[in-house]
C-alpha cells in the first residue's frame, strides 16, 4: 500500500470515528446543559477549564515529541517508548496531583473544588494518553485512538443518562466525566501492548534526550495556555457562573470541532519528520503542501458553516437556555481558521526541529492576549473574551506560517486554497438561503453542496481519488 493510500485510509477511518465521537460529544453536552442549567454548567466549565489550564501547562508537547523521536533512529524503539511513558507518568503525578491543593486558594464554591479534586484523576489518564497517541501516530494506526475515543464517549453518555434518570446532581456528572477518561486510557493501554511491550522505564540518557527535545515546546505551551484557557479562567473569577456557562457551552462546541485539526496533523507529523530528518526535500515539500491543503479543506467550511448556523446550532445542542451563546459561537468560529493554521505550522516546526525558533511567538501572544483579556473582559464580558481568543489564534497561526517559511525555504501554493475558499463561500451563501430548515438538514445540505463544489473544482485530483479508493 502506498503512503498516500495509507494516510488516506487512516484519515478516513479517523474521520468516521471523529464523526461518531463528535456526535456523542454533542449528545453529552446537550444532556449536561439541559440537566445542569446555566449556573451549574458554569461550575462544570470552571472545574474543567481549571484542570485543562494545569493539564495543558504540563503537557510538554509529548505527543509530537513521541511521534518525532519514534521516527528517528537514535534509540531502541521499545526502550524509548517505555521511557516516554515513565517520564509522562512522573510529570503527570507531580503536577496534576497538586491541582486540588492549588484550587483551594481560588474563590470557587465547595462543589467546584470537590469536582476538581477527583476529576484530576481523569486528567492524569488523559496525560498518559499523550505518549500512547504518539505511538499510534508513528505506526499510522490512529484508528485505534478513534476507537478508544468513541468507547470513552459511549461510557460518558451512558453515565450521564443514568445520573439524570436518578437525579443525582452535579458531582456525579463530574464522576461520569472522570470514568469516561479512564475507560479511554485503559483501552489505548491494553491495545498498545499488542504493538510493543508497555511499561515504565527510567533511563537517564533517554530522559535527558526527551527533556532536550521537549523543553522549547514546554515553554511555548506554558505561554500558549495563557491565551488558550486564560479567557475561561478569568471569566470564572470575574463573571457570574451563568455567564461562564453560556461562554463555556459555545467554547465546548468549538473544542469538539477543532480536535480534528490535531488528529489530522498527528497522522502527517511522522511523515514530515521522516522526510526532513533524512534530507529528502522533495518528499518533505510534497507532504508539507498536502498537510496545508488537507487542513484548509476542513478549516474553511467549518468556520463559514458555523458562522452561518451558530444560533440554531446552540439552540439544538444546548437548549433554549443557551440560545444567546449563538453570538459567541459565531465569533469563536473565526478562531477555527487560526487553530488549523497553528496546527499545520506548529507541528511542522516540530518536524523540522525548530521548536526553539517559535518560542517567541507563543510568549508574545500570551503577553498581548493576557493584557487584552484584562482590559476587555471587565468592559465587554463574554464578547471581549471571544474576540481576544480570535486574535490570539490568528496571531499565532500567521507568525508560525512566516517562521516556517523562513526556516524551511518552502513556499506553499495557494491555488487549491482559493478553490476551497470559493467552495466554502458558496456553501455558506446556500446555508443562509436555506436558513428555515432544521439545523440537521442545513448541515447535511452544507456537506453535500461543499462536497459537490470540491469535486467540481477538482480540489482533489482524479489520480489521488483513484489511489485512495483502490481496494
**pLDDT confidence of residue 64:** 66
Confidence band, pLDDT 50/70/90 cuts, at residue 10: low
Q: Which of 37-51, 63-77, 195-209, 343-357 has the highest mean pLDDT?
A: 37-51
Confidence band, pLDDT 50/70/90 cuts, at residue 469: very low
The reported pTM is 0.77
Give the mean pLDDT of 116-144.
78
CA–CA distance, 70 with 273 (Å, rounded to integer):
10
Query: Is the confidence at residue 345, as pLDDT, over 50?
Result: yes
CA–CA distance, 88 with 132 (Å, rounded to integer):
10
Confidence band, pLDDT 50/70/90 cuts, at residue 460: low
Alpha helices, H only, 352-414? 359-380, 382-408
**pLDDT confidence of residue 343:** 83
Could you please report the per-residue DSSP string of 315-365? HHHH-GGGTTHHHHHHHHHHHHHHHHHHHHHHHHHHHTT-TGGGHHHHHHH
**pLDDT confidence of residue 468:** 43
The string of pLDDT tens digits covering residues 149-190 is: 889 999 999 999 999 999 999 999 999 999 999 999 888 878
Other CB atoms within 10 A of residue 390 CB: 17
Could you please report the per-residue DSSP string of 212-259? HHHHHHHHHHHHHHHHHHHHHHHHHHHS-HHHHHHHHHHHHHHHHHHH
Query: Is the confidence at residue 101, as pLDDT, over 60?
Result: yes
Give the mean pLDDT of 313-341.
90
Give the mean pLDDT of 295-318.
90
422: Cβ contacts below 8 Å, ≥ 6 apart: 453, 457
Query: Is the confidence at residue 380, as pLDDT, over 70?
Result: yes
Q: Pseudo-torsion of CA 218, 219, 222, 223, nearest 10°?
A: -140
What does each C-alpha distance from 28 to 25, 113, 148, 260, 455 come to in angstroms?
5, 22, 17, 18, 34
Give the mean pLDDT of 75-91.
80
CA–CA distance, 377 with 387 (Å, rounded to integer):
10
Query: Is the confidence at residue 72, as pLDDT, over 70?
Result: no
**Which of 208, 211, 213 has the alpha carbon at shortest distance from 355?**
213
**pLDDT confidence of residue 212:** 80
**pLDDT confidence of residue 383:** 92
- Of 246 and 264, the structure prediction assigns the larger pLDDT to 246
**pLDDT confidence of residue 206:** 83
- Of 397 and 71, the structure prediction assigns the larger pLDDT to 397
Confidence band, pLDDT 50/70/90 cuts, at residue 6: low
Query: Is the confidence at residue 261, as pLDDT, over 90?
Result: no
- Of 398 and 69, the structure prediction assigns the larger pLDDT to 398
Query: Is the confidence at residue 225, as pLDDT, over 90?
Result: no
Confidence band, pLDDT 50/70/90 cuts, at residue 93: confident
Phi/psi at 97 (5° precision): -65, -25
Query: Is the confidence at residue 430, as pLDDT, over 80?
Result: yes
Query: Is the confidence at residue 265, as pLDDT, over 70?
Result: no
**pLDDT confidence of residue 267:** 61
Confidence band, pLDDT 50/70/90 cuts, at residue 471: very low
Other CB atoms within 10 A of residue 226 CB: 24
**pLDDT confidence of residue 190:** 80
- Which three three-digit cell numbers place residue 202? 527510567
Confidence band, pLDDT 50/70/90 cuts, at residue 200: confident
**pLDDT confidence of residue 140:** 62
Q: pLDDT averaged over the chain?
A: 82
**Which of 70, 113, 82 has the alpha carbon at shortest distance from 351?**
70
Query: Is the confidence at residue 424, as pLDDT, over 50?
Result: yes
Q: Would you say how long the chain is, in residues?
A: 471
Whole-number percent of the chain with pLDDT over 90: 30
211: Cβ contacts below 8 Å, ≥ 6 apart: none
Q: Are 232 and 49 in contact (CB under 8 A)?
A: yes
Q: How many helices (DSSP H) and strands (DSSP E) are in the chain?
A: 16, 0
Query: Is the confidence at residue 270, as pLDDT, over 70?
Result: no
Could you please report the per-residue DSSP string of 105-167? TS---HHHHHHHHHHHHHHHHHHHHHHHHHHHHHTT-THHHHHHHHHHHHHHHHHHHHHHHHT
**pLDDT confidence of residue 294:** 82
Give the mean pLDDT of 368-378.
91
Amino acid at each position: 500500500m502506498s503512503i498516500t493510500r495509507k494516510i488516506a485510509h487512516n484519515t478516513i477511518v479517523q474521520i468516521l470515528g471523529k464523526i461518531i465521537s463528535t456526535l456523542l460529544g454533542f449528545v453529552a453536552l446537550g444532556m449536561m446543559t439541559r440537566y445542569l442549567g446555566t449556573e451549574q454548567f458554569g461550575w462544570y466549565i470552571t472545574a474543567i477549564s481549571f484542570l485543562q489550564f494545569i493539564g495543558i501547562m504540563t503537557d510538554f508537547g509529548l505527543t509530537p515529541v513521541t511521534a518525532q523521536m519514534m521516527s528517528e533512529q537514535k534509540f531502541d524503539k521499545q526502550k524509548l517508548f517505555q521511557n516516554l511513558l515513565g517520564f509522562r507518568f512522573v510529570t503527570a503525578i507531580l503536577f496534576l496531583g497538586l491541582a486540588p491543593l492549588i484550587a483551594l486558594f481560588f474563590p470557587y464554591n465547595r462543589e467546584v473544588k470537590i469536582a476538581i479534586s477527583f476529576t484530576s484523576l481523569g486528567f492524569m489518564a488523559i496525560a498518559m494518553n499523550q505518549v500512547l497517541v504518539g505511538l499510534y501516530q508513528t505506526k499510522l494506526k490512529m484508528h485505534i485512538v478513534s476507537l478508544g475515543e468513541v468507547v470513552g464517549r459511549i461510557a460518558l453518555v451512558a453515565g450521564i443518562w443514568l445520573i439524570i434518570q436518578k437525579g443525582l446532581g452535579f458531582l456525579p456528572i463530574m464522576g461520569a466525566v472522570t470514568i469516561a477518561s479512564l475507560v479511554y486510557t485503559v483501552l489505548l493501554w491494553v491495545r498498545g501492548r499488542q504493538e510493543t511491550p508497555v511499561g515504565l522505564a527510567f533511563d537517564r540518557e533517554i530522559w535527558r534526550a526527551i527533556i532536550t527535545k521537549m523543553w522549547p515546546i514546554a515553554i511555548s505551551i506554558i505561554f500558549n495556555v495563557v491565551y488558550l484557557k486564560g479567557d475561561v479562567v478569568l471569566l470564572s473569577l470575574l463573571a457570574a457562573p451563568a455567564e461562564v456557562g453560556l461562554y463555556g457551552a459555545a467554547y465546548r462546541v468549538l473544542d469538539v470541532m477543532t480536535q480534528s485539526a490535531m488528529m489530522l496533523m498527528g497522522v502527517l507529523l511522522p511523515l514530515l519528520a521522516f522526510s526532513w530528518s533524512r534530507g529528502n526535500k522533495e518528499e518533505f515539500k510534497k507532504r508539507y503542501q498536502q498537510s496545508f491543503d488537507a487542513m484548509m479543506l476542513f478549516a474553511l467550511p467549518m468556520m463559514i458553516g458555523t458562522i452561518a448556523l451558530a444560533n440554531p446550532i446552540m439552540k439544538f445542542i444546548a437548549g433554549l437556555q443557551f440560545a444567546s451563546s449563538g453570538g459567541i459561537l459565531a465569533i469563536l468560529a473565526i478562531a477555527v481558521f487560526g487553530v488549523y493554521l497553528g496546527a499545520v505550522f506548529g507541528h511542522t516546526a516540530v518536524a523540522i526541529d525548530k521548536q526553539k525558533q517559535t518560542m517567541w511567538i507563543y510568549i508574545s501572544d500570551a503577553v498581548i492576549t493576557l493584557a487584552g483579556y484584562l482590559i476587555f473582559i471587565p468592559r465587554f464580558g463574554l464578547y471581549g473574551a471571544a474576540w481576544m481568543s480570535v486574535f490570539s489564534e490568528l496571531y499565532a497561526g500567521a507568525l508560525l506560517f512566516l517562521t516556517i517559511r523562513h526556516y524551511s525555504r518552502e513556499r506553499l501554493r495557494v491555488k487549491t486554497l482559493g478553490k476551497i475558499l470559493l467552495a466554502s463561500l458558496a456553501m455558506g451563501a446556500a446555508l443562509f438561503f436555506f436558513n428555515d430548515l432544521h439545523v440537521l438538514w442545513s448541515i447535511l445540505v452544507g456537506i453535500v453542496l461543499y462536497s459537490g463544489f470540491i469535486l467540481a473544482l477538482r480540489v482533489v485530483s482524479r489520480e489521488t481519488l483513484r489511489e485512495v479508493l483502490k481496494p
